[in-house]
Structure 1
Amino acid sequence: MDTAFAAHGIVTIDTGFQRPHFDAAYLIVENGRAAFIDCGTQHSIPAMLDALASHGLGPQDVDWLILTHVHLDHAGGAGALMRQLPNATLAVHPRGAPHMIDPERLVAGATAVYGEEEIARSYGDIAPVPAQRVRELADGDVVELAGRPLLCVHTPGHAKHHLCVWDTRSRCWFTGDTFGLSYREFDNADGAPFVIPTTSPVQFEPEPLKQSIRTMLAREPHGMYLTHYGRVGDVRRLADDLRVQIDEMVRLARQAQERPDRHEWLVEQLTHLYVGRVRAHGAPLGAEQVRELLAIDIELNAQGLEIWASRERRA
């Protein structure tokens, strides 16, 4: 049992999506009861159940599956997992709830981005959740886990249906994608984390995202539990890094709108931005390693930025 679990009952679960230490879900244990925050894909279910068993719990001991948002790397396995959890309620933003009850549009949107073959390979079956087992979370709602309050706050910017979860016990946020991406391969020799924003399609909005980051900082958190990946500290520095990068990414997206090769140019510019920042951070990676590890994220960030810039231009 690690010290974080001993102190706060929080378990990081590697969902196995894409590569090791890429996609996390979380288990919170309190007085013999449990809650999951996010769940990965259908392929992640064995890891989720193994985490319960490793801490002396079974599926019947889970009261909540809380989703930060319904993008498939966070919520694709929710319907299948809920079938394994007889006493659990799925808690989600009101905008996300219809997609959990009837995931047809969610699947169609993801298929348009990734393609049918990738959806089948990476996500598996995306099953519905019965409406009576879904609780819609208003901004500021509290989910009670055996007397432990988990405050759910709407945090738009990455997606309109995004929320983050504040745990008073640990003084940490479960941030989904609002606090960006921080892979452990990018930690420097002192163990300090590196972070980039995630602007994946289709609802990125820079000003709401920066406001959501400010909202989280206002509680003076001791750490952030990111889906991609794990707990990070040094949150003030990372928040400053995110704000600087959001502004720079927005500038590049606007500039790309004037170019006939805008997608390719934007991918190149984002790659240059991140490689430069990784080198300045002191992470022990060469430029090619950075490109390889961030390839998926760079492509999705470019797509999301283009969609946002086109929307801004039409407004």
Structure 2
Amino acid sequence: MARDAGITTIDTGYGERPRFCAAYLVEHAGRAAFIDCGSNDSVPRLLAALEARGLAREAVDWLVLTHVHLDHAGGAGTLMRELPNARLVVHPRGARHMIDPSKLAAGAAAVYGEAEFARHYGTLLPVPASRVVEAPDGHVVDLAGRPLLCADTPGHARHHIAVWDATSRSWFSGDIFGLAYPELATAQGAFVVPTTSPVQFDPDEMRASVRRLLAEQPLAVYLTHYGRVDEVARLGADLIEQVDAMVALARGCDGGSDRHARLVDALTAFYVERARRHGVVDAAAVVPRLLALDIELNAQGLEVWLDRARS
């Protein structure tokens, strides 16, 4: 665990891969909030982080979810059962899925298969409606006098919020500010990649959301995938440039029964070349190994967007 400005970075252990998925513990005046929570298997790590900081479970006032994709929110029901005073904060579009997660579970099981879903996520537990707070754009979570502003930030998902912490002048970005795995960082800094979602990616909304985060001139952004990044202006410009390039690649690959395979190959080559220029050693081998799942999901997201744009 790493800590600064009252913020502790917790490796949730999601996917059995280190430094892949983070949750955050924010402390102020003896009270606490979690931002994102990983899956059910992540809950012991979050509770251990509380214990390490000398905080009782009763000291947690909030669990704030950036969105309800299961690597961010799959453990919410289980965690909330351990936090007697906490309320769960989520985008209005995501609230019903926390109160009744059956559709989330069914959708994920359809994608991964029942056995894989059970292995990665277990049983999704509901959160009582009385403990769920909907957070429209501009909603402020009061953490013992430390305001956490919820900003509607679509582009990755329509039920996505980013959380502005004025105390640290930092954003908790969920997936809207991309991913930057530590293994791809070099002397040039973090290496960032946009992350689409298979059904709700929208490039115009993603660019607008990134610009919204940049407008606050943040000192740092805390990514779920993974950890704190600085040089925010450079990374934001890089993300916008990549969204433009990814859209162009998708349009160039559109059509034909092999569209998906061609797009995966085109995205892989694109990220490898960017990583090589960024100074990643042996980028041709490292990028496909580290980004294989993300490339697959980005290709799916771009294809769904192409098909939707035509309809």
Q: Distance in 1 between matches of 2:223 and 2:24?
A: 10
Amino acid at match of 1:183: Y
Amino acid at match of 1:149: P
1:279 to 276, 279, 283: 276
2:300 to 279, 299, 303: 303
CA contact (8 A) 2:275 2:283 kept: no
Q: Which runs of 5+ in 1 are unaligned?
A: none
Amino acid at match of 1:139: D
CA contact (8 A) 1:186 1:285 kept: no
Find the residue that maps to 1:196 and give its secondary structure.
coil
Residue 108 (structure 2) pairs with residue 110 (structure 1): yes
CA contact (8 A) 2:37 2:75 kept: yes
> How large is the Cα RMSD of the aligned pairs?
1.2
With the length of structure 2 as denominator, give the TM-score of the two structures: 0.97
Moved over 4 A (4+): none
Find the residue that maps to 2:261 and give its secondary structure.
helix
Find the residue that maps to 1:284 and give its secondary structure.
coil
In the TM superposition, residue 114 of structure 1 has moved relative to its aligned partner by: 2.2
Please name the residue that 1:242 is paired with.
239
CA contact (8 A) 1:189 1:284 kept: no
CA contact (8 A) 1:175 1:225 kept: yes
Amino acid at match of 2:20: F
2:192 to 187, 191, 195: 195
1:143 to 135, 141, 144: 141
Matches within 5 A, 1:8-47: 8-18=5-15, 19-47=17-45
Q: Distance in 1 between matches of 2:215 and 2:286?
A: 35
Q: Distance in 2 between matches of 1:232 and 1:288?
A: 24
1:84 to 59, 67, 82: 82
Q: Deviations over 1:24-53 (max 9, x none)?
A: 000001111100000000000010000000
Please name the residue that 1:97 is paired with.
95
Q: Distance in 2 between matches of 1:115 and 1:277?
A: 34
Please name the residue that 2:221 is paired with.
224
Q: Deviations over 1:147-182 (max 9, x none)?
A: 100000000000000000000111000000000010
In the TM superposition, residue 313 of structure 1 has moved relative to its aligned partner by: 1.2
Q: Deviations over 1:177-217 (max 9, x none)?
A: 00001000000135x00000001211000001100011111
Q: Distance in 2 between matches of 1:117 and 1:73?
A: 17
Please name the residue that 1:312 is paired with.
309
In the TM superposition, residue 123 of structure 1 has moved relative to its aligned partner by: 1.6
Amino acid at match of 2:255: E
Find the residue that maps to 2:110 and give its secondary structure.
helix
Q: Distance in 2 between matches of 1:261 and 1:143?
A: 47
In the TM superposition, residue 132 of structure 1 has moved relative to its aligned partner by: 0.4
Residue 69 (structure 2) pairs with residue 71 (structure 1): yes
1:210 to 199, 207, 211: 207
Amino acid at match of 2:104: L
In the TM superposition, residue 76 of structure 1 has moved relative to its aligned partner by: 0.2
In the TM superposition, residue 255 of structure 1 has moved relative to its aligned partner by: 2.3
Find the residue that maps to 2:14 and give its secondary structure.
coil
Q: Distance in 2 between matches of 1:11 and 1:87?
A: 20
Q: Distance in 2 between matches of 1:274 and 1:115?
A: 29
CA contact (8 A) 2:162 2:174 kept: yes
In the TM superposition, residue 240 of structure 1 has moved relative to its aligned partner by: 1.0
Amino acid at match of 1:294: L
